[in-house]
Amino acid sequence: MNPKKILLTGATGYIGKRLLPVLLAQGHEVICCVRNKDRFPQEGVYTDPKISLFEVDFLKEPPSSEAIKDIDVAYYLIHSMSSGQDNFEELEELSARNFIELVKPTAVRQVIYLTGITNEKKLSKHLASRKNVEELLDKSGIPLTAIKAGIIVGSGSASFEIIRDLVEKLPVMITPKWVNTRSQPIAIRNILEFLSGVLLKKETFGKAFDVGGPDVLTYKEMLLQFAEVRHLKRYILTVPVMTPRLSSYWLYFVTSTSYKLAVNLVNSMKVEVIARDNELEKMLGIKTISYKKAVELAFQKIEQNNVISSWKDSLASSYEDNSLLDHINVPTDGCFLDKREKLIKGDPNEVLRNIWSIGGKHGWYYGNWMWKIRGIMDKMVGGVGLRRGRTHPHNINTGDTLDFWRVLAADKKKKRLLLYAEMKLPGEAWLEFRICEKEGENYLQQTATFRPKGLGGRLYWYSVLPFHYFVFEGMAGNLLKTSTAEKVNS
């Protein structure tokens, strides 16, 4: 196939980040839709000259299509389930309508849409919303190819990480009856093969294809097979009396998901998701991978520190709009500051590597037991806690999650890392690291900023002030050490 010009929505999402290198390897020119260009990664494959960026927020009136008028294909990889918003159906419909308005004036010849399998008469709100979007796109007049999948198994996928949390943390699971619901999981690499394989194949225009792996399994069977791959003995007891609310709390406290997302997941897990037979596998010559093999391949990626994307890094997991961008400029008025400046006597690049390795399994360089307690407290009041970790042990991109922080800026050239707190707080908090040069010497500047809300915020700051002295001073000191991050994880 000759190289084509492709519009990729959801370019910084879980699927988009994985599809992008596939399209580039095929020689295509890719226009990545982003809500903010500054959030797009600036390393590795993302610097390919075949990539260009197009700023658009599909929850707002779309901009002019002039810059993308000559596209051949558009991928629609947007959905709002992970936002946990109560009105995600309206958000999805609005996003789809704005997408149609954007691409309709262009030369686009095909829209490729990744959606869910919707064969049951009674659908969850999530699946019903996805079906509605499919119908909207189909009525647009642009040839639509819909790829319909169930659970996607791959390192960093929501289903994979939730099952991993359950299996690795709980030797005995008392589970709700939805664990007996059947599903047909599919490996992420097969999804990418289908998405790239239907590109401008006219025989797929105007059609929807269910795709699934070779195994039809209950959620209970998936949990037990996952345990087999990990060489773990697990016992699952099913009780019929666990309400959807209790099921949601169960997922929330054991896994890294938010409560609202857990509610949506529980509602979806009550519906069987089994693919209908179609000719797409034969048409494209794709051999689907078994569930256990898909889990094994995912762990190979994890062990090689080669996880390309994670569902937790999507901004939709925390923000339904661009509100995060309001926090990039750290305020000064009405704020409390804890600022530490340390002379770097050794290699500043080693200090930068330590900064870029902060959080996750490496910890926070001082008083990790205190950070863990703070994470537990946050989880108990409905916050995200520390369970999100980080996607890669040494690489950070703007927009990534970092335990209960969100990365606002990660600029290695300017030697700056800026984090914004997503924990439950009576105010707003930032944590910034910089390496700067003064009079021929390199210094580490570490600044914690807290903007309180009312009296409660001020009382909170003063109550934790003694802990801040030890934690922030110890953290700044240990960041200067030339030893590896693992050795200072104490």
- For the chain, what are the domain ranges? 5-313, 328-488
Higher pLDDT, 293 or 312: 293
Q: Is the confidence at residue 483, as pLDDT, over 70?
A: no
Distance of CA 353 to the CA centre of its chain: 23
Higher pLDDT, 176 or 348: 348
Least confident of 49-63, 93-107, 180-194, 379-393: 379-393
- The residues that bridge with 431 in the sheet, in sequence order, are 419, 448
Residue 76's pLDDT is 96
Mean pLDDT across the stretch 174-200?
A: 91
Residue 178's pLDDT is 79
Say which DSSP state 38 is in: G
- Please calculate the CA angle 66-71-72 and round it to the nearest 5 degrees: 155
Q: Is the confidence at residue 315, as pLDDT, over 60?
A: no
Mean pLDDT across the stretch 69-87?
A: 77
In order, the DSSP letters of 331-365 are: --TT-EEEEEEEE--S-HHHHHHHHHT-SGGG--S
Q: What is the pLDDT of residues 32-65, one digit of tens each?
A: 998 878 777 777 778 889 999 999 999 889 899 9
Say which DSSP state 273 is in: B
Q: Is the confidence at residue 481, as pLDDT, over 70?
A: yes
Contacts 24+ apart (CB under 8 A), 459-464: 460/425, 460/426, 460/427, 461/336, 461/427
Mean pLDDT across the stretch 405-412?
A: 86
Mean pLDDT across the stretch 125-139?
A: 90
CB count within 10 Å of CB 380 equals 11
pTM over 0.75: no
Residue 474's pLDDT is 92
Residue 485's pLDDT is 44
Q: Is the confidence at residue 179, as pLDDT, over 80?
A: yes
Domain 328-488 adopts which CATH fold? Alpha-D-Glucose-1,6-Bisphosphate; Chain A, domain 4 (3.30.530)
Residue 322's pLDDT is 46
Side chain identity at residue 59, one-letter code: L
Q: Is the confidence at residue 17, as pLDDT, over 70?
A: yes
Residue 118's pLDDT is 87
Whole-angstrom distance, CA of residue 247 vs CA of residue 476? 41
Q: What is the mean pLDDT of the chain?
A: 84
Q: What is the pLDDT of residues 380-406, one digit of tens each?
A: 777 777 777 787 778 887 778 888 888
Residue 490's pLDDT is 40
Residue 489's pLDDT is 42
H helix intervals, 411-481: 454-479
Mean pLDDT across the stretch 113-121?
A: 89
Confidence of residue 124 (pLDDT cuts 50, 70, 90): confident
Structure tokens, 64: 């002019």
Side chain identity at residue 133, one-letter code: V
Cβ contact 52:31 at 8 Å:
yes
CATH of domain 5-313: 3.40.50.720
Q: Is the confidence at residue 282, as pLDDT, over 80?
A: yes
Residue 157's pLDDT is 78
